[in-house]
C-alpha cells in the first residue's frame, strides 16, 4: 500500500477542520486486509468442492441470523481464493479495501484501471448470501453483460447464480435475471422496471423482487450528472391524430428575429409583434392569445422548436422510420426516449416520418428517490472527490479515497485558451498532427457527436487516419477504445463513450507497451471544458492508468458552447484578452477565471437540482401511496369491495350475471386502469403547475408552499375520482351487456410499450428584490437605512436593464 505523503496529510487535516465527510485515511482498513490475507493462506489447499462447501456454510449461517459483518474476513478471503483460481488474478490490497468500503455502504473512489469490477465481487458475495438479490448497477448495457460474464465463473464457483438485464429483454428473461443472487444491469433498466412493475395489470408480470443492496458503478455519472433528468415512463393514449403539417409549413415560412426570437440555449421561443400578426393572418384564427387560441399557439411553438432549435445529428438521428434522440450528456442514442407531448410529433412532421402513437406520462421517479428504494447502497467511481458533499447530502454516501496501486504519472497541462473557435480548431489540428507524427497515441474527447465527426473529417483531409466513436454500439466502441493506446492511433470520441474499458498502452494486448510508454504514453486532448471539473477529470482519467505515463490538456475558446450558453464569457474583462499571433491567450488570470466560470456553472446546476429536488419530495410520497394502493388492488379483492361501496347496484347486477370471480377480475382491471389514468393526469397537472409556480413569487408567496398545498388538495380528489371513474366504466359495461372476457386492454396500455421523456427545463428564477418586502425583519431595518436601500434598489434596477 502506498505511503501517505505529507500533502495528503495536510489536505486531510484541512478537510476534517471543515467538517468534511471525506476519508483519506485508509490505515483503518489495514488490519482487516491483513486478516483477510492471513485467512487466505489457509484456503490455498482447498479443493473446489471444499470452497463450495465453505460458501454454503456461510450462507447457512447468514440465513440463521448471523451478522454479515462477522463473516467479512473469511468470506472476502474465500472470494479472493476463488478469483485467483478462476481468473488467475491475485487481488490487490486496494481492491480488498474497496470491497470493505462498499460493504460498509460508502462510496469508494478508485482510479481508472485499478479493477473496480473485481473489487465489487467481494461485497456482492457477502451481501448476496442472504438470497435477497444484489444489484450491480453498471454504466451501460455492454458493461452489464461483460461484467456478468466475466465475473460469472467466480460466483458460480462460490455457489451463487448470476444474471444480467439488457435493453429489449422480455418479461420472462427479466424475471429470470432478477431472480438470480446477483444481477448486473444499468440503473436505467432497474429504474424503469421498477416504474413498469407499478403499472402491471397482472401479478405474474411483475419482474423485480424487493430491493436489498445495490452497488452503483461510475457513481458520479449516474447519481449526479444524470440525476438532473428524472426517469419518466409514458404510454400511448387514445388521443386522435392531429393535423400538424400546416404548423410545420408555417414554421418554415417564418423568419427568425423578424417573426420570432429564440434563445438557443434556454430553448425558449417567443413571437415578435410582427410574428403574431403574421401567424394570426396565416392561420386565420383570430386572436392567438386567448383560451381558445392557445391550442394553435402550442402547436406552433412546438413546430418552431422542432424547426429551429433541434438539429439533426446533434439532438436526434433518423433511423429507419423513427426519430432517435441523442443524449446530450453521453452523446449516444437514447433508446426509447422522446420529447414530451407535442414536440416529438412536431419533429416527426419536420422529418417526414410517420407519427407514432401519442402518449402521456404514466409514472416518474427521480434517480435520487429510486436509489433510496434500496435499503443499502454503495457506490464506486474514479472521480468522486469534487462531488463529495453532494454524495453525502443527497445519498448519505461518505466518500473514501483509495490511493492508486501505483502512483499516477500523468501530467495535466494547463488549458490552451483561444479567443475564437476557429483559432482553437487550427491549433487543435496542428497539435494532433505534430504529436501524431511521433507515433504517440492520442485520444480526443469532444462534446457532441457532430463535433467528433467534423473533427474527423478535417483530420482525414490532412491525411491523418483516425477512428470515431459514433454513439451507436457499445460493444464496438469498447473494442475501439481498447485499442486507443496503440502506437499511432488517433481516436475521437465524446466524453462518455467507451467508459469502463481499459486503455492499455500499446494496444489491448500490451505488445507495444514499452515503445508507447517511451513516447510519453497516451495523450488525452479535451476540445471543450465540461459542466464540471469532475467531468473534465473523467476524460483526463482515460490516460495514466496503473502507473502508465500520460498527458492531458484541454483546448478551449471563449466562444465555446459552455461559456456562451451560460452567458458568462462576458464576465472576463476585455483587457485580459490579449492574444499571441495564433490567437492563444497566454495569461494565467484568464485560466483562473475559466476555472471560476466553471464553478459558477456547477453552482447554478447544483441550485437547479436542489430546487427540483425540493419539488419532488411530496410527489414521491404520493407515488409511494399510489404504488402500495395499486399493489393491494392488484393482489387482493379490494377493488371489488371498494367499487361495491361506490356503486352497489351495478356491482350486484354484474355479480348476479357473471359470478364472483369474473366480477372481481373486472373490478380490479377497471379500477387499476382508472387509477393509472388519474395518476397520469395528475402528474401532467402537477408538472404544469410547477412550470408556472415561480410567478407566485411576484406576490411574495412561497412557491414551494403553494405547490405542496395544491398537490395535497388535488391528490385527495384524485383518488376519489379514480374510484368514481371505475364505477362509471363498470356501469357502461353493464349497459353494453357484460362480457366474460376482460375489458382490458389493448397492447398499447401494456407497460412494456413505454418510453422515456426528455425533460430538462428549469422554471425557477431568482428575484432578490422581493426578499426586501417579503422578509419582515430585513425590510424593517432596510427601511431605517432608507438612503442606502434606495440606492441599492436603483443600482439593481439599472443593472437589470443593461
Partner 1 sequence: MLETFQNIFRIPELRKKIYFTLGVIFIYRLGGHIPTPGIDPRVLADYFAQSTNSLFGLYDMFVGGAFKRVTVFALGIMPYISASIIIQLLGTVFPYFHKLQREGGEGRKKITQYTRYGTVLLSFFQAIAISFFLQSITSPVTGMHAVPAGLMGIKFTILTAISLTTGTMLIMWLGEQITNRGLGNGISLIIFIGIVARLPGAVIAEYQQVAAGTRHPFMELVVVAVIIAMTAFIVLITQAMRRIPIQTPKKVVGTKMYAGQNTVLPLRINMAGVIPIIFASSVMTLPGMLIGLIPGMEMMEDISRLFAPGGIIYSIIYALLIIFFTYFYTAIIFNPLDIADNLKRSGGFIPGIRPGKKTAEFLDNVLSRITLPGSIFLAFISIVPFWMMGGMKINFYFGGTSVLIVVGVALDTLQQLESHLQMRNYDGFLKKGRLRGRRL
Q: Hey, which residues between 281 and 310 contact partner 1 (CB under 8 A)?
A: 287, 289-291, 294-295, 297-298, 301
CB of 514 to partner 1, least distance (A): 45
Smallest gap from Cβ 330 to partner 1, in A, equals: 24
- Residue 786 C-beta: closest distance to partner 1, Å: 4
Q: Which stretch binds partner 1 (CB under 8 A): 48-56, 443-451, 488-496, 694-702?
A: 694-702
Binding to partner 1 by residue 689, rule CB under 8 A? yes
Using an 8 Å Cβ cutoff, are 728 and 797 in contact?
A: no
The reply on whether position 691 binds partner 1 by CB under 8 A is yes
Is 778 an interacting residue with respect to partner 1 (CB under 8 A)?
Answer: yes
487 belongs to the binding site for partner 1 (CB under 8 A):
no
Nearer to partner 1, 437 or 625 (CB): 625
Q: Residue 150: name the closest of 83, 228, 250, 78 by CA.
A: 83
Going by C-alpha positions, the residue among 462, 334, 450, 401 that lies closest to residue 758 is: 334
CB of 584 to partner 1, least distance (A): 24
Question: Counting contacts by CB under 8 A, is residue 769 touching partner 1?
Answer: yes
d(CA 277, CA 366): 42
Cβ–Cβ under 8 Å, residues 492 and 467: yes
- Stretch touching partner 1 by CB under 8 A, among 66-74, 469-477, 632-640, 783-791: 783-791
Binding residue (CB under 8 A) for partner 1 from 60, 149, 263, 465: 263
Phi-psi label, residue 413: left if phi above 0, alpha if psi -120 to 50, beta otherwise? beta
- 634 to 663, contacts with partner 1 by CB under 8 A? none
Least distance to partner 1 from the beta carbon of 792, Å? 5
Which residues, numbered 590-629, are part of the site for partner 1 (CB under 8 A)? 596, 599-600, 602-607, 610, 617-618, 621-622, 625
> Phi then psi for 442, rounded to 5 degrees?
-125, 135
Stretch 659-688 residues interacting with partner 1 (CB under 8 A): 681, 684-685, 688
Q: Between 133 and 342, whose beta carbon lies closer to partner 1?
A: 342
Please state the closest distance from residue 360 (CB atom) to partner 1, in A.
7
Q: Which of 14, 28, 571, 656 binds partner 1 (CB under 8 A)?
A: 571
CA dist., res. 244 & res. 222, Å (int): 37
- Dist CA 111 CA 115 (whole Å): 9
d(CA 248, CA 218) in angstroms, rounded, equals: 41
CA pair distance 792, 207, nearest whole angstrom: 60
How far is it, in rounded angstroms, from Cα 231 to Cα 50?
Answer: 45
Which stretch in 42-50, 83-91, 376-384, 760-768 sits in contact with partner 1 by CB under 8 A?
A: 760-768
Binding residues for partner 1 restricted to 82-141, rule: CB under 8 A: none
Is there binding between residue 240 and partner 1 (CB under 8 A)? yes
Q: Can you tell me whether residue 462 is helix, strand or coil? A: coil
Interface with partner 1 includes 692 (CB under 8 A)? yes
| DSSP-based three-state secondary structure for 401 | strand
Cβ proximity to partner 1: between 127 and 296 the closer is 296
Binding to partner 1, residues 415-444 (CB under 8 A): none
Site residues for partner 1, window 51-80 (CB under 8 A)? none
Specify the residue, 409 or 564, whose C-beta has the smaller distance to partner 1: 564
In whole angstroms, the minimum distance from the beta carbon of 647 to partner 1 comes to 24
Nearer residue to partner 1 within complex by CB, 169 or 683: 683
In the block, residue with C-alpha cell 438612503: 787
194 CB neighbour count, 10 Å cutoff: 19
* Residue 28 near residue 97, CB atoms below 8 Å: no
Out of 1, 710, 753, 758, the only residue in the binding site for partner 1 (CB under 8 A) is 710
Does the footprint of partner 1 cover residue 784 (CB under 8 A)? yes
CA 602/CA 599 separation, integer angstroms: 5
Among 182, 126, 174, 188, smallest CA distance to 149 is for 182
Q: Binding to partner 1 by residue 768, rule CB under 8 A?
A: yes
Report if residue 14 touches partner 1, rule: CB under 8 A.
no
Q: From the CB of 328, what's the least distance to partner 1, in Å?
A: 20
Q: Which of 5, 270, 319, 434 binds partner 1 (CB under 8 A)?
A: 270
Residues 6+ away with beta carbon under 8 Å from 163: 148, 176, 177, 178, 179, 180, 182, 183, 184
Residue 534 CB, shortest distance to partner 1, in Å, is: 14
Using CB under 8 A, pick the residue from 65, 320, 463, 699 that binds partner 1. Answer: 699
Backbone angles phi, psi at 409, to 5 degrees: -105, 10
508 phi/psi in degrees, rounded to 5? -65, -25
d(CA 545, CA 116): 13
- Cβ proximity to partner 1, 263 vs 632, nearer residue: 263
Q: Using the rule CB under 8 A, is 782 a contact of partner 1?
A: yes
Q: Which residues pair with 381 in a beta bridge?
A: 109
**Helices then strands, each counted (H, E), the chain:** 30, 24
Name which of 737 and 800 has its Cβ closer to partner 1: 800
Nearer to partner 1, 437 or 793 (CB): 793
Q: Does 693 contact partner 1 by CB under 8 A?
A: yes
Q: Does 358 bind partner 1 (CB under 8 A)?
A: yes
355 binds partner 1 (CB under 8 A): no
Q: Is 530 exposed, middle or buried (0-12, 13-18, 19+ CB in 10 A)?
A: buried
Provide the minimum distance between the beta carbon of 72 and partner 1 in the complex, in angstroms, as a whole number: 35
The whole-angstrom separation of Cα 727 and Cα 743 is 13
Rounded Cα distance between 308 and 378, Å, is 43
CB 188 within 8 A of CB 371: no
CB of 504 to partner 1, least distance (A): 38
Measured in whole angstroms, the distance separating CA 796 from the mean position of its chain's CA atoms is 38
CB of 762: closest distance to partner 1 in angstroms? 10
Secondary structure in 3-state letters for 601-655: HHHHHHHHHHHHHHHHHHHHHHHHHHHHHHHHHHHCCHHHHHHHHHCHHHHHHHH
Question: Which one, 509 or 713, has the nearer CB to partner 1?
Answer: 713
Which whole-number Å values give the CA distances from 155 to 98, 119, 158, 173, in the listed order? 18, 13, 5, 20
Q: Does 779 bind partner 1 (CB under 8 A)?
A: yes
The size of the interface with partner 1 (CB under 8 A), counted in residues, is 100
Least Å distance, CB 300 to partner 1, is 8
Residue 639 beta carbon to partner 1: minimum distance, rounded to whole angstroms: 22
Regarding 706 and contact with partner 1 (CB under 8 A), the answer is yes
Q: Which residues of 431-450 are buried (b: 16+ CB within 10 A; e: fewer)?
A: bbeebbeeebbbbbbbbbbb
Q: For partner 1, which stretch binds (CB under 8 A), given 211-219, 237-245, 435-443, 454-462?
A: 237-245
- In 3D space, the residue among 244, 347, 256 whose CA is nearest the CA of residue 299 turns out to be 244
**If binding is defined by CB under 8 A, does position 249 make contact with partner 1?**
no
Residue keyed to cell 497539435: 431
Mark the segment that binds partner 1 (CB under 8 A) among 177-185, 234-242, 410-418, 555-563: 234-242
DSSP state of 327: P
Q: Which of 12, 85, 631, 696 binds partner 1 (CB under 8 A)?
A: 696
Which CB, 47 or 291, lies closer to partner 1? Answer: 291
We find the least distance from the C-beta atom of residue 713 to partner 1, in angstroms, to be 8
Q: Tell me: does residue 19 bind partner 1 (CB under 8 A).
A: no
The interface mask with partner 1, positions 529-568, x = CB under 8 A, is: ---------------------------------------x
Amino acid at each position: 500500500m502506498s505511503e501517505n505523503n505529507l500533502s495528503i496529510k495536510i489536505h486531510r487535516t484541512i478537510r476534517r477542520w471543515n467538517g468534511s465527510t471525506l476519508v483519506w485515511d485508509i490505515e483503518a482498513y489495514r488490519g482487516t486486509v491483513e486478516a483477510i490475507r492471513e485467512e487466505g493462506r489457509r484456503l490455498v489447499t482447498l479443493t473446489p468442492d471444499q470452497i463450495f462447501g465453505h460458501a454454503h456454510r456461510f450462507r447457512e449461517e447468514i440465513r440463521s441470523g448471523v451478522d454479515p459483518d462477522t463473516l467479512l474476513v473469511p468470506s472476502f478471503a474465500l472470494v479472493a481464493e476463488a478469483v485467483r483460481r478462476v481468473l488467475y488474478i491475485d487481488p490487490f490490497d486496494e481492491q480488498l479495501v474497496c470491497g470493505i468500503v462498499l460493504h460498509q455502504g460508502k462510496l469508494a473512489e478508485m482510479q481508472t484501471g485499478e479493477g473496480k469490477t473485481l473489487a465489487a465481487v467481494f461485497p456482492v458475495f457477502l451481501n448476496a448470501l442472504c438470497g435477497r438479490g444484489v444489484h450491480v448497477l453498471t454504466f451501460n448495457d455492454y458493461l452489464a453483460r461483460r461484467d456478468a460474464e466475466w465475473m460469472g465463473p467466480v460466483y458460480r464457483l462460490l455457489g451463487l447464480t448470476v444474471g444480467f438485464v439488457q435493453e429489449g429483454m422480455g418479461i420472462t428473461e427479466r424475471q429470470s435475471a432478477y431472480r438470480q443472487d446477483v444481477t448486473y444491469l444499468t440503473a436505467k433498466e432497474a429504474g424503469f422496471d421498477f416504474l413498469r412493475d407499478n403499472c402491471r395489470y397482472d401479478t405474474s408480470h411483475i419482474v423485480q423482487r424487493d430491493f436489498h443492496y445495490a452497488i452503483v458503478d461510475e457513481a458520479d455519472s449516474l447519481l449526479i450528472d444524470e440525476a438532473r433528468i428524472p426517469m419518466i415512463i409514458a404510454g400511448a393514449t387514445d388521443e386522435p391524430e392531429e393535423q400538424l403539417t400546416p404548423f410545420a409549413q408555417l414554421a418554415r415560412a417564418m423568419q427568425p428575429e423578424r417573426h420570432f426570437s429564440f434563445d438557443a440555449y434556454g430553448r425558449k421561443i417567443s413571437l415578435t409583434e410582427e410574428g403574431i400578426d403574421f401567424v394570426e393572418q396565416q392561420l386565420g384564427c383570430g386572436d392567438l392569445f386567448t383560451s381558445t387560441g392557445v391550442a394553435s399557439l402550442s402547436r406552433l411553438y412546438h413546430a418552431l422548436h422542432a424547426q429551429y432549435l433541434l438539429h439533426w445529428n446533434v439532438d436526434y438521428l433518423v433511423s429507419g422510420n423513427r426519430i432517435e434522440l441523442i443524449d446530450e450528456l453521453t452523446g449516444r442514442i437514447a433508446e426509447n426516449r422522446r420529447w414530451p407531448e407535442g414536440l416529438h410529433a412536431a419533429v416527426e412532421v419536420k422529418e417526414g416520418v410517420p407519427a407514432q402513437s401519442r402518449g402521456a406520462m404514466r409514472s416518474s421517479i427521480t434517480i435520487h428517490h429510486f436509489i433510496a428504494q434500496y435499503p443499502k447502497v454503495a457506490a464506486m467511481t474514479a472521480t468522486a472527490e469534487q462531488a463529495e458533499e453532494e454524495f453525502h447530502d443527497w445519498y448519505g454516501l461518505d466518500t473514501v479515497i483509495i490511493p492508486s496501486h501505483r502512483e499516477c504519472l500523468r501530467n495535466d497541462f494547463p488549458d490552451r485558451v483561444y479567443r475564437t473557435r476557429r483559432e482553437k480548431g487550427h491549433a487543435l489540428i496542428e497539435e494532433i498532427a505534430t504529436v501524431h507524427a511521433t507515433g504517440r497515441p492520442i485520444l480526443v474527447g469532444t462534446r457532441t457527436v457532430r463535433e467528433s465527426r467534423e473533427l474527423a473529417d478535417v483530420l482525414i483531409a490532412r491525411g491523418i487516419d483516425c477512428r470515431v466513436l459514433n454513439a451507436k454500439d457499445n460493444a464496438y466502441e469498447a473494442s475501439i477504445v481498447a485499442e486507443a493506446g496503440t502506437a499511432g492511433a488517433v481516436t475521437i470520441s465524446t466524453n462518455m463513450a467507451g467508459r469502463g474499458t481499459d486503455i492499455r498502452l500499446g494496444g489491448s494486448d500490451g505488445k507495444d507497451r514499452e515503445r508507447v510508454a517511451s513516447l510519453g504514453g497516451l495523450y488525452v486532448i479535451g476540445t471543450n471544458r465540461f459542466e464540471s471539473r469532475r467531468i473534465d477529470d473523467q476524460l483526463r482519467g482515460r490516460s495514466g492508468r496503473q502507473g502508465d505515463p500520460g498527458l492531458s490538456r484541454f483546448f478551449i475558446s471563449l466562444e465555446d458552447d459552455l461559456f456562451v450558453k451560460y452567458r458568462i464569457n462576458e464576465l472576463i474583462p476585455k483587457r485580459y484578452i490579449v492574444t499571441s499571433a495564433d490567437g492563444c491567450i497566454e495569461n494565467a488570470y484568464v485560466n483562473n477565471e475559466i476555472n471560476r466560470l466553471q464553478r459558477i456553472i456547477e453552482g447554478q446546476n447544483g441550485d437547479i437540482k436542489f430546487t427540483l429536488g425540493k419539488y419532488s419530495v411530496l410527489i414521491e410520497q404520493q407515488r409511494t401511496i399510489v404504488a402500495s394502493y395499486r399493489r393491494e388492488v392488484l393482489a387482493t379483492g379490494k377493488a371489488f369491495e371498494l367499487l361495491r361501496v361506490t356503486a352497489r347496484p351495478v356491482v350486484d347486477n354484474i355479480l348476479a350475471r357473471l359470478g364472483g370471480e369474473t366480477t372481481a377480475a373486472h373490478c380490479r382491471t377497471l379500477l387499476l386502469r382508472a387509477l393509472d389514468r388519474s395518476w397520469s393526469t395528475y402528474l401532467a397537472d402537477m408538472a404544469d403547475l410547477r412550470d408556472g409556480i415561480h410567478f407566485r413569487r411576484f406576490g411574495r408567496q412561497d412557491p414551494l408552499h403553494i405547490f405542496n398545498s395544491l398537490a395535497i388538495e388535488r391528490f385527495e380528489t384524485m383518488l376519489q375520482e379514480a374510484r368514481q371513474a371505475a364505477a362509471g366504466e363498470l356501469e357502461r359495461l353493464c349497459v353494453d351487456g357484460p362480457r366474460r372476457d376482460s375489458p382490458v386492454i389493448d397492447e398499447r396500455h401494456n407497460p412494456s410499450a413505454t418510453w422515456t421523456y426528455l425533460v430538462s427545463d428549469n422554471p425557477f428564477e431568482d428575484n432578490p428584490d422581493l426578499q426586501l418586502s417579503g422578509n419582515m425583519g430585513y425590510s424593517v431595518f432596510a427601511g431605517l437605512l432608507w438612503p442606502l436601500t434606495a440606492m441599492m434598489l436603483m443600482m439593481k434596477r439599472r443593472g437589470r436593464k443593461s
